[in-house]
């Protein structure tokens, strides 16, 4: 989802400014157009939509003759991705989530995405009913790797951090779990983070989020 959006926003900004700004935009938001990959520590992976917009605006201002021209260019080019249309599940998520819940566990989600698109995505993927609590980027709780999000979720579910596991695909996810004192920190290699980035922070690495089905059996 994010790679396609990054390419589109880069092209739109090139047109809106009449200048080749996309390369600088890609570098600033943490996107490699050669590999079509999101960098695990960059804004696309760990920032809110508002934060990404600020980064993009700062880059465009350096290319434009005035602040007003930069503002117009960003307003012309800017759009937010449609997660329901663009998200592609990497496993049978309804089955995965249902098995986790059936095993007696509860599921909470901590994300830097805004609440409205997160809710829409979960409903679109058919898994909202299995999620007991959400902490989102526009909730004002704090952003990864700050542990505030996951500690708020533990409090909402009335569970101890030591009895909680986190599953994530970025170093910020896993660092958040470590900072919160969670009992299990699990990295998955099916997202943006590779082994070198995740292994130092993880108790366990799984090749895909789909492997959690076995854990929930």
| CATH code (residue 185) | 3.40.50.1000
**Does 98 share its domain with 193?**
yes
pLDDT given for residue 2 in this prediction: 85
pLDDT given for residue 154 in this prediction: 97
**Does 165 share its domain with 96?**
yes
**Does 26 share its domain with 100?**
no
Query: What parts of the chain have a pLDDT lower than 50?
Result: none
d(CA 55, CA 25): 8
**Does 156 share its domain with 114?**
yes
pLDDT given for residue 164 in this prediction: 97
**Does 19 share its domain with 107?**
no
Please say whether the beta carbons of 17 and 63 come within 8 A: yes
- Region at 10 (left for phi over 0; alpha for psi -120 to 50; beta for the rest): alpha
**CA 181, 131, 144 angle in degrees (round to 5)?**
40
The model carries a pTM of 0.83
pLDDT given for residue 215 in this prediction: 54
Question: Across-strand partners of 91?
Answer: none
pLDDT given for residue 165 in this prediction: 96
How many CA atoms, within 13 angstroms, populate the side-chain half-sphere of residue 56?
29
Task: Decide which of 47, 81, 115 is a domain's last residue.
Answer: 81
Q: List, as one string, the DSSP characters of 95-158.
A: HHHHHHHHTT--EEEE-SS-HHHHHHHHHHTT-GGGEEEEE-TTSSS--TTSTHHHHHHHHHTT
For CA atoms 208, 119, 179, 159, the dihedral sign is negative
Cα separation values, 129 from 115, 119, 125, 137, 152, Å: 16, 11, 11, 21, 20
**Does 110 share its domain with 208?**
yes
pLDDT given for residue 43 in this prediction: 93
| Count of other CB atoms within 10 angstroms of residue 195 | 12
């Amino acid at each position: 989802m994010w790679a396609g959006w990054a390419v589109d926003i880069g092209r739109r900004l090139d047109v809106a400014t009449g200048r080749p700004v996309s390369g600088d935009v890609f570098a600033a938001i943490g996107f490699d157009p050669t590999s079509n990959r999101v960098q695990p520590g960059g804004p696309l992976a760990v920032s809110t939509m508002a934060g990404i917009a600020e980064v993009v605006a700062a880059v465009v201002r350096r290319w434009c003759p005035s602040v007003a021209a930069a503002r117009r260019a960003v307003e012309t080019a800017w759009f937010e991705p449609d997660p329901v249309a663009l998200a592609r599940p990497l496993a049978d998520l309804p089955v995965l989530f249902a098995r986790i819940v059936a095993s007696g566990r509860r599921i909470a989600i901590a994300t830097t995405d805004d609440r409205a698109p997160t809710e829409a995505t979960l409903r679109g993927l058919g898994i909202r009913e299995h999620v007991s609590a959400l902490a989102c980027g526009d909730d004002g709780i704090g952003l990864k790797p700050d542990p505030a999000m996951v500690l708020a979720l533990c409090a909402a579910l009335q569970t101890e951090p030591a009895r909680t596991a986190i599953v994530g695909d970025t170093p910020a996810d896993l660092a958040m779990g470590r900072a919160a004192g969670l009992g299990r920190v699990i990295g998955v290699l099916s997202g943006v983070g590779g082994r070198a980035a995740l292994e130092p922070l993880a108790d366990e690495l799984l090749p895909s989020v789909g492997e959690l089905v076995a854990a929930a059996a």
